[in-house]
Amino acid sequence: MQPIYLPQPTEEQWKSVADSFQRKWQFPHCIGAIDGKHVVIKKPGKSGSSYINYKHTFSIVLMAVVDSDYKFITIDVGSQGRFSDGNVFSTGVLAKKLLDHTLHLPAPTEMRPSHYLRI
């Protein structure tokens, strides 16, 4: 179902997300906000302590990237609760696609002076 409801964004969609972050939040060149959430579950059978998180509950991790309107762009769900957000990200599909350049990200561009925050 993932390809139907959360297909991988195209280069044009990433650019649209970045434009929206700039307009709405004055955050230039941002293609998404990422965070992880521990989803509490019942202890899986014969799992030992693999799903116990830092709060001492059983969980799986939902790692998500959202656009400037908090809508999901991509998710990675199912990692064992014992893993931190950093670990889930670095071993997940998103990091792999970043490293092998298959996310269809736009080419880097120079920031224009209008992108800089004025204080």
| Cβ(80)–Cβ(58) below 8 Å | no
34, β-bridge pairs: 65
- Domain boundaries along the sequence of the chain: 32-100
Give the whole-angstrom CA distance, residue 52 versus residue 69. Answer: 32
Beta strands 59-66 and 33-40 are: antiparallel
pLDDT for the residue numbered 115: 55
pLDDT for the residue numbered 31: 94
pLDDT for the residue numbered 111: 81
pLDDT for the residue numbered 70: 96
Q: What is the mean pLDDT of each run of 10 residues along the chain (119 residues)?
A: 87 96 93 95 91 94 96 92 92 92 91 62
pTM of the model: 0.83
Give the whole-angstrom CA distance, residue 69 versus residue 56. Answer: 32
Give the whole-angstrom CA distance, residue 17 versus residue 11. Answer: 10
